[in-house]
Chain A
């Protein structure tokens, strides 16, 4: 990194060879993890929704506009998109767009709460190589799940997953946002996934969208973060994380994944009205790079926008740069810092060394905390959430096998060989 710091104004021409992650920091010709939220409309009102979804935005991209975006993704050779929302399947043209994308060599993984996954749809999905499905489930029991996702949502998700399993769709994803209530259920989630021949995917709760309102209540405690890290190390490659938890790498060995904040470098979001943000968890004008409806379309925004160019320059680690864990933790998640009102070049609010918590307690009035842009929440409130009462937390320290930390971090083939394959469609971070 000294090389980069010496020449901060060098054009984004990566030195070669180098660690892959260092090369990625310069950005790519096309994103690896492109999330496309097709609609803000949703049948549910999850309390932690990262996009504050509920009502459809009248300015939503039309079917033809969506197809034009897909054409452009094909030209840019974007391998696949992560389609989400809102609930994307409530768009009347949803299946038409999925078919259009796959016919144009753009693979699709879509996230759904399961509402439209009937046995018939499940059979159709099982027949396609180019479509992957991810069902959201935030509790291994109805009690824990519905507390966050709303009444009946557990039953809907379980039904959808059973339909997929019955149709022979193996390896679909069960996507869990880790919260204070469900961390004690990690083994139960794994058991559900194993039973259904599905793959478990754990991601981080971020204070984005409505998540900002419930973050204090739902985000895992420090002890739970440790428990989660140990669990992830013990379960290794069998569990996907979308590279969500690299801030936990400071506990020991780095977790599998790229271990960097990919915002604007390998990650971005196209929202329902065509706005392009640096990351799905950063819906705020600070992180708005442009719109696909503008001249030059998505490609121009991705390659030339002022914001993305800035994000691809070497970033200062600020207070974190002297931390021994900086090379893997990188100061954590930009969105998590932003929406908790912390400086972007300092520690993550969930810094495992406790520096984030310290800073949070020193913040002045809540007025300094930025509010997410664009609230599409349903205007009618969901029925009051009953307090589930104290939920027993298992804080047992389990002895887990950790991979030995290699004395030599450099692979003998570094800078020359192909990196080992990574799960492509697992990235949301």
Chain B
């Protein structure tokens, strides 16, 4: 995942906040994913209004040191098609 590019939550994905974080459901693949971390949830929610993944992470206050961990988590979401690169 190139974090300098813009990504969005896949249009067929629905996101529901839960006490532990959030749940995502992809209507196309019929798969569920879970976000167990509130910062990660904030990043995902901020993607749509951010010019890049990196910018979204900055907006919600992720430090450079933590960036690789969050990028890795976002990549897991990307692999299950929950996130999609924005067409330029």
Residues of A within 8 A of B (CB): 12-14, 16-17, 20, 23, 26, 28-30, 32, 77, 79-80, 105, 107, 129-130, 132, 413, 415-425
Could you say which of A20, A26, A77, A424 contacts B30, with CB atoms under 8 Å apart?
A: A424
- Identify whether the interface residues of A are mostly helix, strand, loop, or mixed: loop
Residue in B14, B18, B31, B38 whose Cβ sees the most chain A Cβ within 10 Å? B18
- Shortest A79–chain B CB gap in Å is 4
Q: Which of B25-61 contact A (CB under 8 A)?
A: 25-38, 40
User: Is B14 within 8 A of A421, CB to CB?
Assistant: no
Q: Which of A12, A20, A132 has the most CB of B within 10 A?
A: A20
Q: Pick the contact of A417 from B12, B36, B80 — CB < 8 Å? A: B36
A17 touches B37 (CB 8 A): yes
Cβ-neighbour of B36 out of A16, A29, A132, A421 (below 8 A): A16
A-B contact pairs, 29 of them (CB 8 A): A13-B19, A16-B21, A16-B37, A26-B20, A77-B16, A107-B30, A129-B27, A130-B27, A132-B30, A413-B69, A415-B37, A416-B37, A416-B40, A416-B73, A417-B36, A417-B37, A417-B40, A417-B73, A417-B76, A418-B34, A418-B35, A418-B77, A421-B29, A421-B32, A421-B82, A423-B30, A423-B31, A423-B32, A424-B25
Given A17, A80, A129, which contacts B25 in the complex, CB threshold below 8 Å? A80
The minimal Cβ–Cβ distance linking A32 to chain B, given in whole angstroms, is 7
Docked complex Cα distance between A14 and B80 (Å): 26
B32–A32 CB distance below 8 A: yes
Closest Cβ neighbor of A423 among chain B residues:
B31
Is the pair A419, B25 in contact by a Cβ cutoff of 8 Å?
no
Chain B: number of interface residues, binned into ranges:
20 to 34
Given contacts A28-B23, A417-B72, contact A422 B32 (CB under 8 A): yes
**B4-25 contact mask (Cβ, 8 Å, vs A): 1 or 0:** 0000000010101111110111
Q: A14–B20 contact, CB under 8 A?
A: yes
In the complex, what residue of chain B is closest to A30 when comparing beta carbons?
Answer: B16
Using CB atoms, name the residue of chain B closest to A16.
B20
Closest 10 pairs (CB-CB, A-B): A79-B25, A421-B31, A417-B73, A421-B80, A424-B32, A23-B20, A77-B16, A419-B34, A421-B33, A425-B30
B66, closest chain A residue (CB):
A416
Q: What residues on B are CB-neighbors of A13 within 8 Å?
A: 19
Query: Are the C-beta atoms of A418 and B12 separated by less than 8 Å?
Result: no
CA distance A79 to B31 in the complex (A): 10
Distance between A24 CB and nearest chain B CB, rounded to angstroms: 8
For residue B34, which residues in chain A have a CB less than 8 angstroms away from its CB? 20, 418-419
> Is there an interface contact between B36 and A419, defined as CB atoms closer than 8 Å?
yes
Residue of A nearest to B31 (CB): A421
Given A13-B19, A415-B37, A77-B32 contact (CB < 8 Å): no
Smallest beta-carbon distance A243→chain B, Å: 12
Chain B residue with the shortest CB-CB distance to A105: B14
Tell me whether A79 and B37 are in contact (CB under 8 A): no
In contact, B14 and A20 (Cβ under 8 angstroms)? no
Residues on the B chain within 8 Å of A424, using CB: 25-26, 30-32
Q: Which residues of the other chain, A, contact B17 by a CB distance below 8 angstroms?
A: 29
